[in-house]
Amino acid sequence: MISQQLLDKLNDQMNYEFYSSQVYLAMAAYCSAESYDGFANFFIVQSEEEKFHAMKIFNFINRLGKRALVTGMHDPVNEYSSLLDTFEQAYAHEQTVTKRIYELSDAAWSEREHATINFLKWFIDEQVEEESTFDSIIQKLRRIDNDSNAFYMLDAELAKRTFVPDAEEA
C-alpha cells in the first residue's frame, strides 16, 4: 500500500509534468515569434508529451484508489537569447526532470512499493530518450552555426514531428 509521503511525491511530479508542458509551450511561443516554425512545432509536440506524462501519473494515482491533486504552477521563462539558448534550457529542464524521477523512484524503492517501482520504469526509460533528443538537437545547432541551408533543413525536419500516444501507454 502506498504511503501518504509517496503519494505526495507522485502528485508533486504530476504537477511538475504539467508545468513542463507550460515550459515547452512558452518555448514554442518564442520560436513562433522568431518565425522558427519547425522548432515551434517541436516544442508544441513536446508540450503535448509532457501533458501525456502528467496524465499517466494522474491515472496511476486514480488506479491506486487515491486522489490526484492538481496545484498551481509558477510562470515559465518566456524570454530566450537565441534558439540555442532555448534548447540548452530545455535540456537542463529535462535533466531536472530526470533527477526528480530518480528521487521518486528511490522513494518507491525505500518503501518497497513495487507497483510504483514498476510504473516509474517507463519514466526512467523516457528520460533517457528525452535527454538524448535535446542533446542531439543542441549538437546539430552548434554544428550548423550560421549555415542557413542547414538551419532551414533542421527546421523543416522538426516541423514533421508529431505525437500520437500509444493507447496502451495512457
| CA separation for the pair 72, 32 (Å, rounded) | 26
* Residue 8 predicted with pLDDT over 60: yes
Mean pLDDT of the chain: 95
Q: Looking at residue 145, what is its pLDDT?
A: 83
Domains of the chain: 4-159 (1.20.1260.10)
Q: Looking at residue 164, what is its pLDDT?
A: 87
Where residue 1 falls among pLDDT bands split at 50, 70, 90?
A: confident
CA separation (Å) from 83 to 39, 107, 122? 9, 36, 30
105-134 residue pLDDT tens: 999 999 999 999 999 999 999 999 999 999
CA angle 149, 151, 155 (to 5 degrees): 120
Which of 7-21, 51-65, 88-102, 150-164 has the least mean pLDDT? 150-164
| CA separation for the pair 152, 4 (Å, rounded) | 50
Map the chain to HEC letters: CCCHHHHHHHHHHHHHHHHHHHHHHHHHHHHHHCCCHHHHHHHHHHHHHHHHHHHHHHHHHHHCCCCCCCCCCCCCCCCCCCHHHHHHHHHHHHHHHHHHHHHHHHHHHHHCCHHHHHHHHHHHHHHHHHHHHHHHHHHHHHHHCCCHHHHHHHHHHHHCCCCCCCCCCC
